[in-house]
């Protein structure tokens, strides 16, 4: 199972499009809020099943601010993170994820990429492909789930776009 995880696109999708055109075998696109309509647009454009949650810049049904999904036998909490004050501390979101009994929590909001383990739970923030903060690069994440193991990889968009610009036409970027 291969997931493409992004957040905080804020209506700026060209870099995400470039990457999705050049990565193969994506099973799901996951968008963690702030411009959920971008997720709907990617779903239509690429035909890859897309799962999204709302962020603090999205307005609508309160129930869409977080979801728990199960993929490849793993439960993952998807949330934008603003309701858990992730800009200031991570303990609240980790506590909530433990309450839910998930294997991983994916969140956005900070625009800063982060991957670590809190005990046996994976914590992932893919950063932002359009508006990075705190000196970070423009990033997204690829998450592979195989044999019960969740393996995240952060992708630096500038490095990826440089590769795409130098490659032969028609080839796909592989991880």
Q: What pLDDT, in 10s, does the model give residues 35-83?
A: 889 999 999 999 999 999 998 888 776 668 899 999 999 999 999 999 9
Give the mean pLDDT of the chain.
Answer: 90
Domains and CATH numbers, the chain: 2-166 (3.60.21.10)
Label residue 29 by pLDDT band (50, 70, 90): very high
Label residue 168 by pLDDT band (50, 70, 90): very low
Q: Is the pLDDT of residue 169 over 90?
A: no
Around 71, how many Cα atoms within 13 Å sit in the side-chain half-sphere?
A: 26
What is the rounded distance in angstroms from the CA atom of residue 65 to the CA atom of residue 163? 35
- Return the higher-pLDDT residue of 60 and 124: 124
Closest by CA position to 81, among listed 120, 103, 39, 114: 114
Entry pTM: 0.90
């Amino acid at each position: 199972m291969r997931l493409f995880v992004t957040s905080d696109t804020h209506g700026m999708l060209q870099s995400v499009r470039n990457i999705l055109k050049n990565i193969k075998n994506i099973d799901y696109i996951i968008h963690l809020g702030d411009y959920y309509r971008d997720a709907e647009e990617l779903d239509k454009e690429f035909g890859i099943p897309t799962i999204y949650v709302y962020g603090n810049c999205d307005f609508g049904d309160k129930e869409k601010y977080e979801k728990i999904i199960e993929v490849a036998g793993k439960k993952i909490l998807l949330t934008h993170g603003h309701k858990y004050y992730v800009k200031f501390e991570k303990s609240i979101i980790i506590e909530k994820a433990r309450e839910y009994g998930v294997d991983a929590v994916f969140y956005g909001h900070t625009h800063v990429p982060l991957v670590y383990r809190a005990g046996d739970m994976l914590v992932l923030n893919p950063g932002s492909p359009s508006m990075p903060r705190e000196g970070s690069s423009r990033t997204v994440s690829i998450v592979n789930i195989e044999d019960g193991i969740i393996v995240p990889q952060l992708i630096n968009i500038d490095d990826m776009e440089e590769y795409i610009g130098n490659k032969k036409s028609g080839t796909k970027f592989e991880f």
